[in-house]
Structure 1
């Protein structure tokens, strides 16, 4: 029996179904990416050794910054593109796509050159251990050579999502991940190229996927405007299709308005994790091991919540572009039900199976404190995932409308709460202060964004101009 997934239209079909089936490929893709990252690390560790794995890890925090820039840029591009798509202004939609690709390709080349020139100085400044410094520099230099491909891979995925097509990025992600694993086994395990082989595998796999994605995108863009020729607005657009610009500075400015807060939001998450990690480190390696196991499970559990928020962002942008703010509200209510359902399933799974899950991460001879910490963390946090779900979809409405000031403020408050409570209360509550702060940050973030949502001002923040 073959199960096919119908493609739902975010402008006309049931809000709940269109959001769910749009978010589903993103959920699967993110879960698959986490699986691939784990396998990639295992290959490097097993075939090259502990130092090589450490060298890749030393580069991770830095490469994550560049990926966040790409993700933030992609979000900025996707909001503008979605709004033009919803308004059926296809030539301008194409211009927004071309503007995003040209702009962020230029940014990625600039960052790549900068990285190549200063990679050794950056790693030295990060106190990279001397015994792995050479390998870390080699890995990072290859990464920077391929940065334009890695960058565009993420931008193109965001553009496909903006067009309501979340399945193509999923298929390309699966393709690139499997190709990366095969090339890791071939270059690292087979030919013994070591850490350079791992870097080349990543660059080649995502680079090829970026090229394929670009070709598919160009083909997809040709269809817009043709199928709606019978409509008055589409007729106007069709007569202007040949005048689509390759670059528009005004569109780029609007993209940046959304992109920069999105980059900050992504960075806030990383900064918060780093700061809180320093608190956990003070309780010893056993507690740290249990906490690490718990946070890895948490990162999997929030995948459907983050994907739902991204789906709401695209849904909001398309429907505001079409001038239908009431439909956004219906979609938001459907999203509330969706994340609540996810939260119930996650809560039941963690409550029933948290001990077995934690044991799968730790050796049988591990210290009892590690098991106790991991179990306590999952047992507590299991009941609060609904808050990050509500936060994600409410932020999604604000982000999709371009109402980014309150969205940014709410995330800053989230960071402030988590860090402040972790640092001030750890001496009184123990390591539990770290995870008690997590749902507090999520819930306050949600409440701030929700109050803004209730005002309805987000519906008047549309970033595009529709001429009648």
Structure 2
């Protein structure tokens, strides 16, 4: 390869030049892509489901940890404490948006390097991603801890919940460096097609969180009764223990993605990898920031309707998070396989991947949403104790739950395009639908319809988002060639 040769990758409809990443003495990994994925005569059901099950269980477990914590807080500490936590969650999501976007970028790079069998690119991408995630976590932690009280005032949190929300938020924000690194590492593992290892250690984290939360919150087994502060501490401890165990496990297994001693000696970053990571990850980060800011805008609107509305919002969010996990898992799986196909020069399999992923999206969605509709009242009483608050949450849940399948469809389309390196236009579409449709509609409908009007903005924006994404996918993206971001 010529020393100054440059390549271009299609990002949206913009051709972005980048320097191909060349590594001396590059070696190959053992090709472990499932043969059914590459064989056009075979169905993708088996490899997708094998990857999807632990990934879906991981996301469900993650949601379950939040569900149990919310139940403990809502039933044991009261709806004021639940409202405090519900106010902090959109803010914390905003602060971690950058690392979620960075993880999306690393997922593309890891998947393509893995599909092409490039070991050196794998290890360098891991090293750079983890270190950059840690540095971002430090910055976001400082911002969150220092400005928490001003943030709560800015989003209109009720005065009655601000003291608890502030204490809870400071602990959550201080743990962001740990959370950033943990999220990035598990995302990287999934980029190689390994969804089982993150699942095992997320299971450990979830069990620890379920055990530690009531112990620290209510002062069990001789511990001091710490209330909402105890719930935050238990969450941090569970993550820390699980992450340390994951590091030791990967080292013991001599995993290709295990961190070696050189990682801990300095925070030097590989600039070519970082440059490519940022080019792919920043649009996703911008999207996540836009989504998180929209959630902050929504909680601001919800807060105007009083503490009861905020508590109902918190309960509905927990149910929706649980239902949408399989759809989000499918989107992530589709993105991983799309990246691997591009790396393995098998772009012809992308259309089959889309059909299989969408079929699973609607099959799982119909079953899961149907069950929640049937048992909606008992489920809401897990989080809430006041019957009028439950009735408010019930109306909202019925209005928006079905739209999770539409959202899943849109995420699968977007993820497959992102897996090939096309990130700019899907990002613009999603951000536009959120801020030009969802937020204005929520503001307008909140007047005549109250809390229900705010929630109706979600299915309206999801439908428009899917239509626009499909138009771009059908008439622009499908007409382009999709090559690897790494030099061959």
Q: Please indicate the TM-score interval, normalised by the length of the shorter structure.
A: 0.7 to 0.9
In structure 2, relative to structure 1, the CA distance for the partners of 1:143 and 1:16 (3 Å cut) is same
Q: Distance in 1 between matches of 2:157 and 2:304?
A: 21
Q: Distance in 2 between matches of 1:76 and 1:160?
A: 13
Report if the CA contact (8 A) 2:123-2:256 is conserved.
no
Report if the CA contact (8 A) 2:326-2:364 is conserved.
yes
Q: 1:302 aligns to what SS in structure 2?
A: helix
Q: Distance in 2 between matches of 1:85 and 1:165?
A: 11
Q: Distance in 2 between matches of 1:459 and 1:220?
A: 41
Q: Choose the corresponding residue for 2:242, options 201, 209, 213.
A: 209
The question of 1:105 aligning with 2:137 is answered no
Q: String of CA shifts for 1:272-318, please: whole Å, max 9, x gaps.
A: 33434555566677777666654443332221111111111111111
Q: CA RMSD in A?
A: 3.6
Report if the CA contact (8 A) 1:150-1:206 is conserved.
yes
Report if the CA contact (8 A) 2:58-2:202 is conserved.
yes
**Shift of residue 76, structure 1, vs aligned partner:** 1.4
In structure 2, relative to structure 1, the CA distance for the partners of 1:177 and 1:356 (3 Å cut) is closer
Q: 1:323 aligns to what SS in structure 2?
A: coil
Q: Choose the corresponding residue for 2:458, options 430, 434, 438.
A: 438
Q: String of CA shifts for 1:403-436, please: whole Å, max 9, x gaps.
A: 1111111212321222233333555667654444
Q: Distance in 1 between matches of 2:304 and 2:163?
A: 30
Q: Which runs of 5+ in 1 are unaligned?
A: 1-6, 225-245
In structure 2, relative to structure 1, the CA distance for the partners of 1:183 and 1:316 (3 Å cut) is same
Report if the CA contact (8 A) 1:10-1:318 is conserved.
no
Q: Distance in 1 between matches of 2:403 and 2:463?
A: 9
**Shift of residue 24, structure 1, vs aligned partner:** 2.0
In structure 2, relative to structure 1, the CA distance for the partners of 1:198 and 1:163 (3 Å cut) is same
Report if the CA contact (8 A) 1:184-1:201 is conserved.
yes
Counting matched residue pairs gives 438
The question of 1:418 aligning with 2:438 is answered yes
Q: String of CA shifts for 1:135-184, please: whole Å, max 9, x gaps.
A: 65554444454332222111111011101111211111110122223333
Q: Distance in 2 between matches of 1:8 and 1:360?
A: 41
Q: Distance in 2 between matches of 1:290 and 1:257?
A: 39
Q: Distance in 1 between matches of 2:280 and 2:174?
A: 28
Q: Choose the corresponding residue for 1:192, options 203, 211, 224.
A: 224
Report if the CA contact (8 A) 1:452-1:458 is conserved.
no
Q: String of CA shifts for 1:163-221, please: whole Å, max 9, x gaps.
A: 11112111111101222233334444231151554443322221222222234445667
Q: Distance in 2 between matches of 1:428 and 1:139?
A: 34
In structure 2, relative to structure 1, the CA distance for the partners of 1:384 and 1:106 (3 Å cut) is closer
Q: Which runs of 5+ in 2 are unaligned?
A: 1-32, 258-267
Q: Distance in 2 between matches of 1:184 and 1:458?
A: 52
Query: Which residue of the partner structure matches residue 398 of structure 1?
Result: 417
What pairs with 1:113-192 in structure 2 (closer than 5 Å)? 113-116=142-145, 118=147, 138-188=167-217, 189-190=219-220, 191-192=223-224
Q: Distance in 1 between matches of 2:429 and 2:180?
A: 28
Query: Which residue of the partner structure matches residue 328 of structure 2?
Result: 306
285-294 or 406-415: which moved more? Answer: 285-294
Q: Distance in 2 between matches of 1:287 and 1:45?
A: 14
Query: Which residue of the partner structure matches residue 19 of structure 2?
Result: none
**Shift of residue 355, structure 1, vs aligned partner:** 5.2
Query: Which residue of the partner structure matches residue 365 of structure 2?
Result: 343
Query: TM-score normalized by structure 2?
Result: 0.77
Point out which structure has higher relative CO (alpha carbons under 8 A, 6+ apart).
Answer: 2
**Shift of residue 54, structure 1, vs aligned partner:** 5.9
447-456 or 376-385: which moved more? Answer: 376-385
Q: Distance in 2 between matches of 1:186 and 1:382?
A: 33
> If each structure's helix is expressed as a fraction of its own residues, which one has the higher value?
1
In structure 2, relative to structure 1, the CA distance for the partners of 1:145 and 1:91 (3 Å cut) is same
Q: Distance in 2 between matches of 1:447 and 1:338?
A: 19
Query: Which residue of the partner structure matches residue 351 of structure 2?
Result: 329
**Shift of residue 102, structure 1, vs aligned partner:** 1.9
The question of 1:72 aligning with 2:105 is answered no
Q: String of CA shifts for 1:84-141, please: whole Å, max 9, x gaps.
A: 1111111111111111112222222333345555556655666667777666555444
Report if the CA contact (8 A) 1:29-1:173 is conserved.
yes
Report if the CA contact (8 A) 2:48-2:333 is conserved.
yes
